[in-house]
Structure 1
Amino acid sequence: MHPTIAKHASRSEFLTVRGLRYHIRHWGDPQAPKIFMFHGWMDMSASFQFMVDALQREWHVIAPDWRGFGLSERSPADAYWFPDYLADLEAIIDHHAPGEAINLLGHSMGGNVVTLYAGLRPERIARLINLEGLGLPTAKPEQAPGRFVQWLDEIKNPPLLRGYATLEEVATRLQKNNARLSDERAAFLAQHWAQQDGSGLWQILGDPAHKQVSPILYRVDEMMACWRRITAPVLWIEATDSDIGRFFGPASLKREEIDRRIACIPRTQVEMIDQAGHMLHHDQPERLAQLIETFLAQPA
């Protein structure tokens, strides 16, 4: 496999964020308008490369690796807590755009974080882009005892991630997750998604602790209360062939629940991208970039 050659090279910055060494990836002229991009679960900042290459205007794209992912430092605790992502996000934008209202984009878990943040700090957001950041199904209180017990058991026996003999095996693993991923794009992502250890194995750049169950139930009503406070225009983008909604049950219930969540955001433009799955920024980066730039160009 020969990796895709990036049209726009990125550059790395390492920044101390709330006591952790964070990796921040930058593309474009630092004087250009900014877009902050936050990746999803078990992903990393270089995942946005194909979409960045498809942008037509000059932008300064700022994309961190979340704590415990990519080249950012892992949490010293044995678990990851959602509020930490919010505080990390705020520290990063305070550093790179102090006092500014920003363009903010997130995918999947990152989409959930940025949309929640946009409701908590509405004055900091000029425009918001949510890529498949649907959130999780509504949890019920009676799930709590079992969830706590499961968490207590898992922290005694932390999960592990397997190593891979070659980068080609890593690329093949990525294609197993997403059959639409070309050999060239898979090879590009593999070299950022894994790193060789002392024994020669390629290890995924994600803390295995992320795979532990959270003892904190997902409270949809609280999330929606935050979303209702958003004042910025929001571009909500889904992929027609995404499987992320499988957690919601039958397709009819999934659509009903997602629409209920979208409806609580005051100013939302909803777009669907065909021939794309959950990793829509890998599958249709050109269409995605077009939608994003059209949205950002709209009058305030």
Structure 2
Amino acid sequence: MPSSFESFTADAHGLALHARQRNPGGDTAVVFLHGWLDHSHSFDLVAEHLPEAWRLVLLDFRGMGRSAHLPGHAHYQFAEHLVDVEAVLRATGLKAAHVVGHSLGGIVATAYAAARPERVLSLSLIESLGPGGGPPENALPRLRGFLDDLERPPNRKRYPTVEAAAARLRENNPSLPESAALHLARHGTQSVEDGLVFTFDPAHRRRFAFGYDDAQWLAVSSAVTCPVRLILGSEGFRFDDEERAQARMKALRLPPPLVLPGGHHVHLEQPEAVARALVEFIPSAR
């Protein structure tokens, strides 16, 4: 039976981040970064198949999972998640680690590896080749969208049961197994007076004021120096323009991706296969 995780708090310049750790004396440190509106428990099923000797650190990004929310007048921006990574490394005393990121977590991991190359030993990206980006002309609509979103009051929908919350998750992700959706909902909701709500801050649904265009993201990706592995779901996210995807893979000097049956949350659909891929890659990436 795998050893259990223990929760701890990482201080991100005054903001309390929730994280969990298994085997703090382990010989191989791996930090896991979850996707947008998810939480650290999205990696539980993969962790069950990883070596007991590894030190596993699972982070809840700010405003998601059990981490603190920003004050009501504040706004989330992408770069703040790099601060979250620094905070968890500081809290664990890790000078460097292997990093696994899903979706948003992979984007954060890539940016962090570019900015702090000495602290990232390898990158394992699950369904993550960078932000949507696009041409520079997207900058102005993005700013306008950010301001427009501020006029919409945050909405925290109520659900009568965990099963109802899990069903909502499967509406957005039909390939997600029912058992995995229940796991996400069980750990990603909290009780309120009239039912259950998801724990993420609804302000996360607002658009970022600033984002990377394609040229900027290629420049960031090209600065990554560690080995990188890409894991995709056969029915997962794809860029409409294959040329854009190939340019991003080239910037990261990626080998051909590992494609597994499944969708955008392939690590929840194929946890054993994803774990096996990590075991095969991470020791050789030292």
> Normalised by the size of structure 2, how large is the TM-score?
0.92
With over 3 angstroms needed to count, the CA separation of the structure-2 counterparts of 1:145 and 1:53, relative to structure 1, is: same
Q: Which amino acid aligns with 2:255?
A: Q
Which amino acid is the alignment partner of residue 264 of structure 1?
A
The answer to whether the aligner puts 1:196 opposite 2:183 as a matched pair is: no
The code of the aligned residue for 2:206 comes to: Q
Extract structure 1 runs of 4+ deviating beyond 4 A: none
1:291 aligns with one of 254, 271, 277: 277
Going from structure 1 to structure 2, the CA distance change for 1:217 and 1:234 (only over 3 Å counts) comes to closer
Distance 2:264 2:102 in 1: 9
8 A contact 1:276–1:284 mirrored in 2: yes
**Corresponding residue to 2:79 among 79, 83, 92:** 83
Q: Greater shift after overlay, 102-111 or 178-187?
A: 178-187
Aligned-partner Cα distance in 1 for 2:285–2:40? 29
Q: 1:10 aligns with which of 5, 20, 30?
A: 5
Q: Residue 257 of structure 1 is aligned with which of 241, 244, 259?
A: 244
Q: Check if 1:219 corresponds to 2:206.
A: no
Question: Which one-letter code corresponds to 1:241 in the other structure?
Answer: E
Shift of 1:269: 3.3
Instruction: Output aligned runs, 1:59-74, within 5 Å.
Output: 59-74=54-69
- How far off its partner does 1:259 sit? 1.4
Query: What are the within-5 Å matches in structure 2 for residues 146-165 of structure 1?
Result: 146-165=141-160
Residue 257 of structure 1 and its aligned partner are, at CA, apart by 1.2
**RMSD across aligned positions (CA):** 1.9
In the other structure, the counterpart of 1:269 is 255
Aligned to 1:3: none
Q: 1:14–1:22: 8 Å Cα contact kept in structure 2? A: yes
Which residue is equivalent to 1:279? 265
- Residue of structure 2 equivalent to 1:132: 127
SS of the equivalent of 2:48 reads: helix
- 2:164 paired residue among 162, 169, 185: 169
Shift of residue 281, structure 1, vs aligned partner: 0.9
Bigger mean CA offset, 38-47 vs 116-125: 116-125
Separation in 1, partners of 2:194, 2:283: 47
**Distance in 2, Cα, partners of 1:284 & 1:263:** 26
**Preserved CA contact (<8 Å) 2:10 2:91:** no
- Structure-2 residue corresponding to 1:96: 92
Q: Would the alpha carbon gap of residues 217 and 35 (structure 1) be closer, same or farther in structure 2, given more than 3 Å must change?
A: closer
TM-score (norm 1): 0.88
For residue 19 of structure 1, report the CA deviation from its aligned partner. Answer: 1.0
Task: Identify which range, 202-211 or 215-224, moves more after superposition.
Answer: 215-224
- Tell me, in whole angstroms, the C-alpha distance in 2 between the residues paired with 1:144 and 1:80: 17
How many corresponding residue pairs?
A: 284
Consecutive unaligned residues of structure 2, counting only runs of 5 or more, are: none
